[in-house]
Amino acid sequence: MPFFYYDSYYLILVVPAMLIAAFAQFKVQSTFKKFASVMSRQGRTAADVTRQILNENGLSHIAIERVSGNLTDHFDPRSNVIRLSDSVYGSTSVASIGVAAHEAGHAVQHATGYTPIRLRNAVLPVANLGSTLAMPAILLGLIMSFEPLVTTGILLFSALVLFQLVTLPVEFNASRRALVTLKEKHILDESELTGSKKVLSAAAMTYVAATLVSAMQLLRLVLISNNRRRD
């Protein structure tokens, strides 16, 4: 069976998912830019808000650092550091405060043993292996017509997709925690929360889109493998 036949799966399954992912990335960037110009009435920086949320959850030991880039914010559980990007750290915008509170939500998840976090950590080693070895194993298996190697590669890639699936509730929960905290602690009022919610919702859709791309890629690989068996 000619290789261009296999590529038809890529065009039908993967390319549409990639277009959705590209739109999701555009949406989060444009939404953040829009609400980055809306300053909170209290005038507190994202870093200050993050410090408050951490302290009130007994996480005063977690440091807050500034990191270069735009929307490169993340929580590093290995070093107990929340890193806020240049566009977020010192900003008083409702967009930046929402993003920072989201990262604080991740810190709280780790501290409280949030179940999806534990599951994601359990899958992570195999997912890392899959991201490195899955495609080479599948390609080599197809070239050699060695089905066990193809199956191994697909299983490794499946672990990567599973990791992304488990990441979804982690991200949605962190956003929910952020919005609840910002409201209950009166850090943002109702109108300001609307902006933060839109930014976090757009960010969450990038994870959904990335998972869709991987899932469609997995389906493509399974279809290619099945066609080879029939041949």
Q: Classify burial at 4, counting beta carbons within 10 Å of its beta carbon; exposed 0-12, middle 13-18, buried 19 or more.
A: exposed
* Structural domain containing residue 113: 3-230
Average pLDDT on 121-131 reads 93
Q: What is the pLDDT of residues 172-196, one digit of tens each?
A: 999 999 999 999 999 999 999 999 9
- Give the number of domains in the chain: 1
153-159 long-range contacts, CB within 8 A, separation 24+:
153/221, 154/218, 154/221, 154/222, 154/225, 156/126, 156/129, 156/130, 157/130, 157/214, 157/217, 157/218, 157/221, 158/130, 158/218, 159/123, 159/126, 159/127, 159/129, 159/130
Residue tagged active-site, from 65, 103, 184, 190? 103
pLDDT for res 231: 62
Is 56 one of the catalytic residues? Answer: no
DSSP state letters, 38-59: SB-TT---HHHHHHHHHHHTT-
Q: What is the pLDDT of residues 128-178, one digit of tens each?
A: 999 999 999 999 998 898 999 999 999 999 999 999 999 999 999 999 999
pLDDT for res 8: 87
pTM above 0.95, yes or no: no
Q: What is the pLDDT of residues 53-109, one digit of tens each?
A: 999 999 999 999 999 999 999 999 999 999 999 999 999 999 999 999 999 999 999
Instruction: Decide which of 145 and 38 is more confident.
Output: 38
